[in-house]
A and B are shown apart, each in its own frame.
Chain A
Amino acid sequence: MTPLLKIDGLTKTYPGVVANDDVSLSIAPGEVHALLGENGAGKSTLVKTIFGLNQPDKGRMEMDGTPYAPSSPEDARVAGVGMVFQHFSLFEALDVAENVALGMSDPPPMRDLSQRIETVSRDYGLPLKPGQIVGDLSAGERQRVEIVRCLLGNPRLLIMDEPTSVLTPQEVDLLFKTLRQLRDEGTSILYISHKLEEIRALCDTATILRGGKVVATCTPSEESAGRMAELMVGRRLDVPARAGTVRPETLLQIDRLSVPAASEFGTALKEVSLTLKAGEVLGIGGVAGNGQDELVATLAGETRSPADTIFLERRDISRLGPEQRRVRGLLTAPEERLGHAAAPDLSLTENGLLSAATSQGLARRGFVDWRAARRFAESVIERFDVRTPGPGTVARALSGGNLQKFVIGREIAQDPLVLVVNQPTWGVDAAAAATIRQALLDLAGEGSGVIVISQDLDELMQISDRFAALTEGRLSPFRPAAGLTVEEIGLMLGGAHDMEPAHAH
């Protein structure tokens, strides 16, 4: 059978890196093909080439046996390739149908379009109303908008980039149902992920990339997840190990913290309470946009809360600013790497100063000790294996995963009493994620308290002692992470804390 898409010897170089090195693969009609690899392995470059966002230096592609060389996403769409990006490109203030229309070069009248959206969403089990404002939708629903947008173009190949990273377990099930249905109808799917169990459950074939090269092609259902991870990373991965135990003394206490939403699309925090003990790792799950950013900003001191709501070692710190909290040992790492945790056009040395200037003595009476600052940045780069030419590099020149290692490492390297991290391994490759998780556990092992806010439930189950869900600004009661089932977690995330489900999905 002629493959739908055949890639032959594709090479793409950027200054200083070979992003794709002689990559060949082929996707059959109706095949779900996994593209597996660490960050920087060349997955994005390859997918962008297929979608016409960049052009290869060498090599060729064929679609149905005829040469295929898209020079723009429009060409790719015409040829029957659709792509759902990891980051959605939707306008929050517009409704679903308007957003879909904006992505089309020649949109039909709105009424027809709404009808087609309804048909497609019904046919593929993607519950969606064309008139809903996107700003009100959950991440899962937003993803459906993107998928429907693609499906309206009747693609023969659908590219999905890390689609489950923002979904609850129930939403993942729903998505898989849709993808299987598409496969059965003959649509091929190129599925990019680093979640090996998902790939084993869904994909027919997997191409594993490492350092820009194809290192293996396998049938995921016949390989163990561990074996695939090894192929991907090139060495054995250790499951993070815990050392030390939870001690009785309370480090951080939040007492009925309520903070109004800062903007129309923000989330208010409602009566959030928690107690963090020394040596403990608290996991807070939930889909982004449910108050995670607000909780971190309030703990960091960027947003002030009413007095007597946040206590560090029994002292009220609610009214203190970020620097004063850092001095007392409460450190945070926000989710957004570029623009929040780090400034894009400043060097890593300068970005190191961002949070470590006082605690690491990098500035005395405000005067920067540039040599010490440089040494600090270098030490973070070395300890957390940040791949970069040096501390003089600007932050935006780093890949997402590498910058994430730097900004998390910057906080860990300061030996915090309490560390709050938001999505610590989001978009980070498996090896780096393992490093970060181990470093968080080591920190707890030394007696610090750690709060991990994450959408990755596997991660939370792996490293946290107790788990709670943050939904619409409310925090569920904490429960011991050991022994929680996926269903229980799903219900906690759905906002039905310990209650019977009112309606089944």
Chain B
Amino acid sequence: MIDLVKRPQPSRAWAWATPLLAVLLTLIAGGAMFAALGTDPVAAIRTIFYDPLFNPQFASYSRPQLLVKAGPLILIATGLALGFRAGVWNIGAEGQYIIGAICGAAAGLALYPSESRFLVFPLMILAGLAGGILWAMIPAILRTRFNTNEILVSLLLVYVAESILASMAVGTLRNPEGGGFPGSRNLGQWGASQNLELLPGTGLHWGLVAALIAVIMAYVILHRHMTGVHIRLAGQAPRAARFAGVDPKRLVLFCFAVSGGLAGLAGIFEVAGPAGQISIDFNVGYGFTAIIVAFLGRLHPVGIVLAGLLMALTYIGGELASFMLNIPIAAIQAFQGMLLFFLLAVDVLTNYRIRIGREARA
């Protein structure tokens, strides 16, 4: 008989060991899945985790991609983590990311063909931030006013945002000189708007700089400021939070504003840089993957940086594996899903220990 016994104090050692254990279990289960699909599991895992970084044939392309992909993941996950700690469940970062990108791009394109980089690029960033915040305010205000479920509302708004994106790409924001093809002007090729690679060959762009600033600020807020104490309080003991003087409604608005704003920023940096334009399939799921990143990183800013890099690696490695070894892309996604599944499963060890044997029933 296996029995779970609550620990008197959460285990610090397990809190850090569970992500590693989850990665290990994912490698084993994922390897088994790849083997069942008829691929050599060792080759598959090496292609996903090793080749993008160290194989001379791919590394020069893959390494910069690592930062390009990790940037938005870290930026979004950092914002989400604040909310998740407070028990505010913003599941719709993908939508806020899209709307941020649209607002930022629209603000920039309104000034086309201005040459003033000091006007256009900052304005786009502000517009992206504002767009993300505004889109996040919909579930936030519905929750604080009418007590709706923010998980549902924020998630469903992703699909609304996707429809708006499609309409923008084929309508309002379509490139007038694009020969009727859907998609906006290329912001990445317009000097005033482009989100440049700051150090050639590294993939480092302004989005990653913003991500690092966000990580540092989140760390300060969570661990050095009363707001962090209040966030943790609200997540764990809402009554104690009210006793401490936390206004639950303001906290919901704050968490949604931060997570929505950061998702919006991720959107604008993406559309002005790696993606280049507003197109129908502009969003690739960063907003959802960031949820996994936030939990994989233990909702801790530093953990999120590491988790973001790991998730980015599985994206790049996964693409490489599907290209090189013909592994279906769905299998790669299942592999990423396993990571969250195992993390949540072994997470129980932080607060409980396993007792095997007698003394089972309670």
Contacts and interface: CB of A to CB of B under 8 A. Distances in A.
Contacts of A446: none
Contacts of B227: 366
Interface string A3-33: 0000000000001000000000000000000
Given A354-B244, A355-B243, A397-B8, A363 B226 contact: yes
Contact of A368 (B10, B225, B233, B243): B225
A75 to B, nearest CB: 9
A394 B236 contact: no
A125 to B, nearest CB: 34
B224 A368 contact: yes
A326 B9 contact: no
A342 interface: yes
Contacts of A72: 361-362
A340 B245 contact: no
B362 A53 contact: yes
Interface string B219-254: 000001111110011001101111111010000000
A369 to B, nearest CB: 10
A350 B232 CA distance: 10
Given A346-B232, A346-B233, A339 B240 contact: yes
Given A363-B226, A368-B225, A321 B245 contact: yes
B220 to A, nearest CB: 8
A394 B225 contact: no
Interface in A317-365: 321-324, 326, 332, 334, 336, 338-346, 350, 353-355, 357, 363
A339 B245 CA distance: 14
A353 B229 contact: yes
Count chain A CB atoms within 10 A of each CB in B8, B233, B236, B240 and give the residue with the most: B240
B359 interface: yes
Nearest to A54: B359
A344 B244 contact: no
B240 A340 contact: yes
A368 B226 contact: yes
Nearest to A357: B226
B222 to A, nearest CB: 11
A394 B224 contact: no
Contact of A300 (B225, B243, B359): B243
A350 B358 CA distance: 38
Given A323-B245, A394-B10, A397-B8, A343 B237 contact: yes
Contacts of B228: 368
A350 B242 contact: no
B242 A322 contact: yes
B8 A15 contact: yes
B236 A346 contact: yes
Contacts of A55: 358-359
A355 B242 CA distance: 11
B9 A393 contact: yes
A323 B244 CA distance: 7
A363 B245 CA distance: 14
Contact of A322 (B224, B225, B244, B358): B244
Interface string B30-47: 000000000000000000
A484 B205 CA distance: 78
A345 B240 CA distance: 12
Given A350-B229, A394-B9, A301 B245 contact: yes
Contact of A367 (B224, B236, B241): B224
B15 to A, nearest CB: 12
Interface in B200-230: 224-229
A308 to B, nearest CB: 22
Interface in B1-40: 8-10
A45 B227 CA distance: 40
B1 to A, nearest CB: 11
A344 B236 contact: yes
A71 interface: yes
A302 interface: yes
Contacts of A350: 229, 232
A334 B241 CA distance: 13
A341 B243 contact: yes
Contacts of B247: 321
A332 B240 CA distance: 12
A339 B239 contact: yes
A338 B10 CA distance: 16
The 7 A-B pairs at the shortest CB distance, nearest first, are namely: A323-B245, A322-B245, A343-B237, A340-B239, A397-B8, A354-B244, A343-B240
Interface of A: 15, 53-55, 71-72, 74, 300-302, 321-324, 326, 332, 334, 336, 338-346, 350, 353-355, 357, 363, 366-368, 393-394, 396-397
Given A345-B236, A357-B229, 20 more contacts: A15-B8, A55-B358, A55-B359, A74-B361, A321-B245, A321-B247, A322-B243, A322-B245, A334-B243, A338-B237, A339-B237, A339-B240, A340-B237, A341-B240, A341-B243, A343-B236, A353-B244, A368-B229, A396-B8, A397-B8
27 contacts: A71-B359, A71-B361, A72-B361, A300-B243, A301-B245, A302-B243, A322-B242, A323-B244, A332-B243, A334-B239, A338-B237, A339-B237, A339-B239, A340-B237, A340-B240, A341-B243, A343-B237, A346-B229, A353-B229, A354-B240, A354-B243, A355-B243, A366-B225, A366-B226, A367-B224, A367-B225, A397-B9
